[in-house]
Structure 1
């Protein structure tokens, strides 16, 4: 438990607190999202703030991003493709997508 809490606190420090719901951040960390993304800056993939800004008026964005989380994608944010993440359930993919889109 202490190890998990420490990981969440470290991620909060590294990613900022713009959308730092600890439960959702822990989910993103456990599903390896934070290996390529950060809340406020581009890492390998786009920042969550950039994703949220790009899709802020798109009513289908949660479903679209949930699908990309599960199946992967390419060509939207540059030449590096996002790999499929088959370990994520449909419910968790939707939760992660909504969380990413909440970035301000």
Structure 2
């Protein structure tokens, strides 16, 4: 019961805390339509409530995710599923709430954008 309350509290916090960095460096998205669409989707979502581009917040920084995961089709699909279903354990004890309202196609585009940020300093 305590874990459920904790997870719900964290999810509520993530959804209620907006602001912060919503976009990235425009040169990361320039020229790649998938990355540009992903940037737009991330900017319109509540991702910034828990993630920042270059700093760890509630969740890991996007550039660290890009550094940890190689940009492969398998990793993109795995991470897209985590966006939709949520997950925990890969970045510590704080679970990521699922975002079931995000389509698989949109989640893939968002992940492609995040993985493009691996070189952001």
Post-superposition CA distance 1:17-71 (Å, at most 9, x none): 2746665333113221111101111111001111011112655210011000000
Deviation >6 Å, runs of 4+: none
Give the stretch that moved more between structures: 57-66 or 81-90. 57-66
TM-score by length of 2: 0.66
Residues paired across the two proteins, number:
92
Q: Which runs of 5+ in 2 are unaligned?
A: 1-20, 31-35
Structure 1 contact 74–81 (Cα < 8 Å) conserved? yes
**Partner residue in 1 for 2:52:** 38
**Partner residue in 2 for 1:7:** none
Give me the CA root mean square deviation.
Answer: 2.2
Q: Which runs of 5+ in 1 are unaligned?
A: 1-9
**Partner residue in 2 for 1:61:** 75
DSSP-derived class of the 1:11 partner: coil
Where relative contact order (Cα < 8 A, 6+ residues apart) is larger, the structure is 2
Of structures 1 and 2, the larger Rg is shown by: 2
| Corresponding residue to 1:87 among 101, 112, 120 | 101
TM-score by length of 1: 0.76
